[in-house]
Amino acid sequence: MRVYLDCNATSPLRPEARAAMLSVLDAPANPSSVHEDGRRARHLVEEARATVAGFAGAAPEDVTFTSGGTEANTLALFGSLQAAAEQGQRFTRLVVSGIEHDSVLNGARRAAELFPGLRLSELAVTSAGTIDPQALRSNLREGKGKALVSVMAVNNETGVIQPLQAIAAACAEHGALLHSDAVQAAGKLPTRLADLGADIITFSAHKVGGPQGAGALVTRQGIRIAPQILGGRQERGLRAGTEATAAITGFAAALKAKSWPAPALRNELEQRLREACPEAVIFGIGSPRVSNTTCIAAPGVPAETLVIALDLDGFSVSAGSACSSGRVARSHVLDAMGVDPDLARCAIRISTGWHTTHEDIVAFAGAWGRIVTRARARAAA
């Protein structure tokens, strides 16, 4: 029997989401069709939109469905930049942190190439993995022109919660627009726009127990976004293409479930891991973290060795982000935190989910301890 502990990459599908999706798949129709079947599909999409809106503390008309978090982040960045340019209020500065998801980091770098006069700043983070609001404030104070800021709510590798309210205050002082990738926060923290202090937030269904293939961009009322996928007038003209009714319905059903591991489970896991290897380092442990994420390194034991050995023992974990096409790659997040490269190469991420049990944690800690002990003994021989 396998134990799945890679929920930050994708969560197992919740039973509620599966049931909702099957009910839609048994009666397929295009939500843009005017006949009764089409109207039924449209009703399901709009019901789901109202659910996401309630979850985010927004109006339903300010929710745009996408194919996932990456598309939602791309729409947030490029859509904001293009809309401002079209209104003659061009952004001159784009500020992101050095620990953002690749969809934000790579999107921001590409935007800086495509939008004339746009200057990109990548903020450093502390050794604890947090953005310093004062550093952002200084950056905004020293620059000129309108700024777009993108800072994630929760880091996908370390689980560290960013001080978004303080970041939002710094943005408000300088008239900057704030986007937050809330993909890893959804279901684990309050993620209403008012809770985060952001103007734009993004979600992904498969991180909360919904299906892959659905996500959402949510904006504060009055925020302008320019479409990046052109075609029909779906999603109020902001995202062309037939809505994925089944995936969207499953997304909404997953958001309603709201059951996630308690911090006690993570705390016990980390205690057991450190008992097995007292030299182990847990990254971000000095900062507030969500209750399901542990990023840990056993010095001298490469992440690739651990991930493969654990896989053979029946445990699914990852080395950092799952967005590296199956490669165990060096973590830009740990680099940004100033972690020694040799130690960073030993880091793995354990991320529990709605389905994780105490027995799973005990079994994993035992396997991890045995593998680490064997690997270190071989290295010392």
Q: Which CA distances in Å does 92 have to 142, 145, 215?
A: 13, 6, 28
Residue 277 annotated as catalytic: no
Q: What is the DSSP string of 346-369?
A: TEEEEE--TT--HHHHHHHHHHHH
Cα separation, 352 vs 301, in Å, equals 22
Length of the chain, in residues: 381
Cα separation, 121 vs 212, in Å, equals 32
Options 7, 171, 323, 346, the catalytic residue: 323
| Strand pairing class (63-66; 215-219) | antiparallel
Measured in degrees and rounded to the nearest 5, phi and psi for residue 180 equal -130, 125
- State both tokens at 279: 């030299």
Report helix, strand and coil shares of the chain as percent, to nearest 5: 45, 15, 40
| Strand pairing class (315-316; 3-4) | parallel
Helix axes 303-312, 358-380, angle to 10 degrees: 130
- State both tokens at 223: 């925020």
Among all chains, which residue has been given the structure tokens 């006069």?
A: 117
Under a CB-based contact definition with an 8 Å cutoff, are residues 317 and 361 in contact? no
Centre a 10 Å sphere on the Cβ of residue 298 and count the other Cβ atoms it contains.
26
Cα separation, 274 vs 368, in Å, equals 11
Under a CB-based contact definition with an 8 Å cutoff, are residues 237 and 227 in contact? yes
Cα separation, 155 vs 293, in Å, equals 9
189 alpha-carbon distance from chain centroid: 12
Cα separation, 368 vs 370, in Å, equals 6
Cα separation, 117 vs 263, in Å, equals 45
- Cite the active site residues: 323
